Amino acid sequence: MATLRLFAQVREAAGTGSLEVTGTTVADVIAEATDQFGAGFGVLLPMCRVWINGEPAVESDAVGPGDEVALLPPVSGG
């Protein structure tokens, strides 16, 4: 299983900072999380960046056991 890490607004929408997932691609991982966390979570995803093991990723990238997928929404602050 891979670990999905959630940050900022997506973490708040999910109610957790991480989830163990079984998907084999980034798209599978995102679909599994959306199924679990619902539409309120899903609407935030288009603005998020996705990373696998600290590297930028796209939906077609493979995800394997032990990988860490991170969803990073844009943040602002001062």
Q: What is the pLDDT of residues 6-65, one digit of tens each?
A: 999 999 999 999 999 999 999 999 999 999 999 999 999 999 999 999 999 999 999 999
Residue 42 in any domain: the answer is yes
CB 26 within 8 A of CB 57: yes
State the pLDDT confidence band at 77, using cuts at 50, 70 and 90: low
The two three-digit tokens of residue 71, written as one number: 């969803």
Residue 48 in any domain: the answer is yes
Residue 77 in any domain: the answer is no
Residue 18 in any domain: the answer is yes
Residue 10 in any domain: the answer is yes
State the pLDDT confidence band at 78, using cuts at 50, 70 and 90: low
The two three-digit tokens of residue 54, written as one number: 């600290």
Residue 78 in any domain: the answer is no
